[in-house]
Amino acid sequence: MASVFLAVFIIGLALSVVALLMGASGHSLAHDLHLGHGGHGHAGHGHGGDTVPLVNFGTVTAFMIWFGGVGYLLAAYSAMLAIAAIAIAALSGIGGAAVVAVFMQKILLRDQVPMRASDYYLPGTLGRVTVAIPAGGTGEIVYSQGGARKTAAARGDDGAAIERGTEVVVLRYRRGVAHVQPWDEIAEGSQQDERKGARR
């Protein structure tokens, strides 16, 4: 029985070391094995939630290390029955996994901000022209999104020139270029539609 506990301990420790080395080199073994993804939605590889499932790569390896280590010590250095040793080792493994789960939830993920696809969807975003857009040409706009100020190449939606400092709305975004229309024109068009509707 001691050899089984020892094998579990060594495998868990080896997986932890491999995960640590891969993490230091910019890879994630947990990601490659598709473990630890509960509550996450991908949006440009963004995460739709900030929770980690109880059963993930970190907690599984922690359970293996504690279960194997405590079980080996009990089996090798005590006269305890195998069933009792397994039970105590299992409780130790659960305790070790719980510590890792709490650490991941309270420390590692505490300051992470969930990323949502809607935070990075340009159409409908209000911006300001920082580099004048010539007729039929390309300029630049600045806008706020996802809590940060960003810039993008921009063209007038109808090919018209747009002066620097004009507030614009992004109508669509294609091949790295935002097609925009001045906010005043959109607001004026909306007012005209309302007037026509009132007359009817």
Domain boundaries along the sequence of the chain = 2-108, 121-199
The whole-number pLDDT of residue 179 equals 92
Percentage above 90 pLDDT, the chain: 14
CB 171 within 8 A of CB 123: yes
Q: What is the pLDDT of residues 19-32, one digit of tens each?
A: 777 754 444 444 44
State the pTM of this model. Answer: 0.44
Q: pLDDT, tens digit, for every residue of 111-143?
A: 555 556 555 677 888 899 999 999 989 999 998
Gap between the Cα atoms of 41 and 59, Å rounded: 21
CATH superfamily for domain 121-199: Nucleic acid-binding proteins (2.40.50.140)
Token couple for 119 = 């935070």
Q: Which of 165, 102, 101, 121 minimizes the C-alpha distance to 139?
A: 165
Average pLDDT over residues 61-69: 89
Cβ(128)–Cβ(151) under 8 Å? no
